[in-house]
Amino acid sequence: MFSTKFIEKLKHAQKVAVLTGAGISAESGVPTFRGEDGLWNKFRPEELANFNAFQKNPKLVWEWYNYRRKLIHEVKPNPGHFALAEMEQMFPVFTLITQNVDNLHRVAGSQIIIELHGNIMRNRCVDCNKIYREIDIEFESSVPVCRCGGLMRPDVVWFGEMLPEDAILCAFQAAQECEVFLSVGTSALVQPAASLPIEAHASGAFVVEINVERTAISRYIDESIIGKSGEILPLLINKIKEK
């Protein structure tokens, strides 16, 4: 399953970077965005995760986020999240970059996390940008309103919006400087996150993806390991601990 070259690279690496996507949370019971038969899969993510959709039908977009928030409260991190939290302690420089908004890496114990697409537990006023934490809001009613009268939206990054500047700068820097880069549970279709493994590869890193199927980047990287991240990542840790 793991090539000798990959394990040797990882055993000797000083700087490791990991990009995660929705697939890492799939084994926790969080639906991925693409290619499933979920309740919301009659909508493509592009149709709900954008500001125009919110302006046109804020109630529908809130319902989608309320559904997901409720679900996330009910689930727990899986062995894949825990393995990455353990890996943070194993390398001198370890950068965890996630596209996920579900907070599960933090719950699993990862301490430094670059959240490229925001966090579903935070909300923000579209007019004055005031940040509200989830507990400040009554969710069962329709779209919550800020004290200034503006509509509140989840503090996440929608299509057509810029990613947080610090986050994207740090992520690209980590991709350029690391020796090993892992792309875990992402379809690698959404930019600019999908460019990170490619950037890492172009900068000389050994790039490996872990996914249940091949993805948009498979042919541009060093190795694809086909399997569930909640199973593969713990095995990988055991392997690099071997003398």
Taking contact as CB under 5 A, which single stretch among the options 22-30, 53-61, 129-137, 232-240 is the one that binds Zn ion?
Answer: 129-137
Q: Which of residues 20-79 bind ligand BJW (CB under 6 A)?
A: 21-23, 26-27, 32-34, 45, 49
| By the rule CB under 5 A, 144 interacts with Zn ion | no
Q: Which of 191, 219, 242, 243 binds ligand BJW (CB under 6 A)?
A: 191
Rounded to the nearest 10°, the torsion over CA 191, 216, 96, 65 is 60
228 binds, among ligand BJW, Zn ion, none (CB under 5 to 8 A by kind): ligand BJW
In DSSP notation, 75-136 reads: ----HHHHHHHHHHTTSSEEEEEE---S-HHHHHT---EEETTEEEEEEEETTT--EEEGGG
DSSP state of 218: G
Q: How many residues bind ligand BJW (CB under 6 A)?
A: 35
Three-class secondary structure of residue 152 per DSSP: strand
Tell me the backbone φ, ψ of residue 121, rounded to 5 degrees.
-80, -10
| By the rule CB under 6 A, 95 interacts with ligand BJW | no
DSSP state of 155: E
156 binds, among ligand BJW, Zn ion, none (CB under 5 to 8 A by kind): ligand BJW
Q: Closer CB to Zn ion, residue 144 or residue 150? A: 150
Q: Closer CB to ligand BJW, residue 197 or residue 230? A: 230
CA pair distance 94, 190, nearest whole angstrom: 23
Rg (CA), the chain: 18
Q: Closer CB to ligand BJW, residue 88 or residue 117? A: 117
| By the rule CB under 5 A, 137 interacts with Zn ion | no
Taking contact as CB under 5 A, which single stretch among the options 94-102, 110-118, 130-138, 190-198 is the one that binds Zn ion?
Answer: 130-138
161 binds, among Zn ion, ligand BJW, none (CB under 5 to 8 A by kind): ligand BJW
Q: Closer CB to ligand BJW, residue 117 or residue 124? A: 117
Q: Closer CB to Zn ion, residue 58 or residue 109? A: 58
Q: How far is CA 14 from the centre of its chain?
A: 23
Taking contact as CB under 5 A, which single stretch among the options 11-19, 59-67, 72-80, 145-153 is the one that binds Zn ion?
Answer: 145-153
Tokens read off for 204: 């000389």
Tell me the backbone φ, ψ of residue 78, rounded to 5 degrees.
-110, 175
CA pair distance 109, 242, nearest whole angstrom: 23
117 is catalytic: yes
User: Which residue is listed with tokens 């390398």?
Assistant: 91
Catalytic center residues: 117
List contacts with ligand BJW (CB under 6 A): 21-23, 26-27, 32-34, 45, 49, 99, 101, 117, 156-162, 185-187, 189-192, 210-213, 215, 228-230
